[in-house]
Structure 1
């Protein structure tokens, strides 16, 4: 049955209005779309790869390797050790949500114990990896190494937490006590702050290490953090403090 003239006219008007509405909605979506950036996980603005090259920072095809400054065992009691390693990530924008590592403890050249662990890796940071309670079955550990598995690199741009180490003091009585005062210089609370302390002798060798996790530092407030040791620590010539918050979450 042939369409009536009135129905044809109504259909044309409906199609016309639908096209206009579609154009308006599409225009609004296009106008308010997020501007392309170097951190949008999209290949745009003449980028060579996602978020690198073109308008962005040069692509890191071969990220620089992590730098292990040192790795050492620390005897807690006979047969029980802590192990620590000072690590540096030299890559400015690249880190990883998780890296896996293994501490290896040796008596001379004989492997006597190992322990696996995981941590996050922020871009451009120097930090300490620490594992406690490594059993050596009464054998004396003379050295330690750390093996880090292949890193799955990813670009991050999260701003670092603005936390200041206001002061740090060391008292060697009775077994060694370090007090670190942290100050949150922002207008919001900062959660999950990881603090590492390294005591060095006059030659710059680490003679004591410890770590602590602070659940929260309130806005514009200070937080006192204390570190103690079970065994006596000789007078330290210097104290290093390293702070971390997870920028990869």
Structure 2
């Protein structure tokens, strides 16, 4: 009986010792494998065709100097377009209401073209220009005086060659407010009618140039007249009156006045505050 207990004890002790030795050898083997893998593994670089290190994409972003190509969700969208007589013989004003569906991308510049067509779809006049858009913005693009001796039937607006800017951080849209808008027929003096209003620059920046687009609409929300004007050197906190005049008669009863005030935040020359850094509004450029 005593001998059996002693034999069992020695056997269990031997098995435990054997298990410990196996575990030690296994640990040494795994350590050897890890060391060999670390030694033989290729060095992670910005040209190894893999997304590693702290890269934002394959061999770009993070520690790599190359910027990752970011695809914009949607190009500038045209919501509506139209034309109205300018008041000058054989001349028309055109407009397009456009939207930027991208909430983190703005366009620091894009090219556009208005095309007037006759009832047969033939091009009778064109006008090109350039513009910009902030993330998620909806705005009007207006051009005056497209000249043609033919009667237009439709207008087409096309935007191309956008340069997109990614707004990674919070940005502040220029706080330009238009209040006290009034539309008045001119009963005496020069002109047919006018729009008066007050522009309030509530931004912390001085702007060297602010453009105003005035859209007049009737009771059916149809555009009946367009106008453009500008303001120069508008100080932060400044309130300034403006006036836009239509010198020629146009058709339609005006019941709604829209005024779009904007400053190009992508152009450093639009700002006059000396300590302003344009990067406050900027992100990363992509073409």
TM score, norm. by length of structure 1: 0.71
SS in 2 for 1:123: coil
* Residue aligning to 2:131: 119
Q: Tell me which of 98, 110, 126 is aligned to 1:99.
A: 110
Q: Tell me which of 64, 67, 87 is aligned to 2:74.
A: 64
The 3 A distance-change label for structure 1 pair 102 and 188 is closer
Structure with greater strand share of residues: 1
Choose 1 or 2 for highest CA Rg: 2
Tell whether 2:227 aligns with 1:182.
no
Structure with greater helix share of residues: 2
Is the Cα–Cα contact under 8 Å of residues 104 and 146 in structure 1 kept in the other structure?
A: yes
Equivalent runs, 1:145-184 vs 2, <5 Å: 145-156=156-167, 158-173=171-186, 175-184=192-201
* Residue aligning to 1:82: 93
Q: Matches of 2:91 and 2:109 in 1, distance apart? A: 27
Tell whether 2:154 aligns with 1:143.
yes
Tell whether 2:144 aligns with 1:132.
yes
Paired residues, number:
199
Q: Tell me which of 218, 221, 228 is aligned to 1:211.
A: 228
Shift in Å at residue 94 of structure 1? 0.9
* Residue aligning to 2:242: 225
SS in 1 for 2:71: coil
Q: Matches of 1:91 and 1:73 in 2, distance apart? A: 27
RMSD between superposed Cα atoms in Å: 2.5
**Unaligned 5+ runs, structure 1:** 1-43, 53-58
Is the Cα–Cα contact under 8 Å of residues 201 and 239 in structure 2 kept in the other structure?
A: yes
Shift in Å at residue 228 of structure 1? 1.4
216-225 vs 200-209, which deviates more? 216-225
Q: Matches of 1:132 and 1:45 in 2, distance apart? A: 51
**Unaligned 5+ runs, structure 2:** 1-52, 63-68, 268-287
Q: Matches of 2:98 and 2:197 in 1, distance apart? A: 21
Is the Cα–Cα contact under 8 Å of residues 73 and 144 in structure 1 kept in the other structure?
A: yes
Is the Cα–Cα contact under 8 Å of residues 55 and 61 in structure 2 kept in the other structure?
A: no
SS in 1 for 2:162: coil
Tell whether 2:214 aligns with 1:197.
yes
Shift in Å at residue 48 of structure 1? 4.2
Is the Cα–Cα contact under 8 Å of residues 121 and 248 in structure 1 kept in the other structure?
A: no
The 3 A distance-change label for structure 1 pair 169 and 153 is same
Is the Cα–Cα contact under 8 Å of residues 94 and 155 in structure 1 kept in the other structure?
A: yes
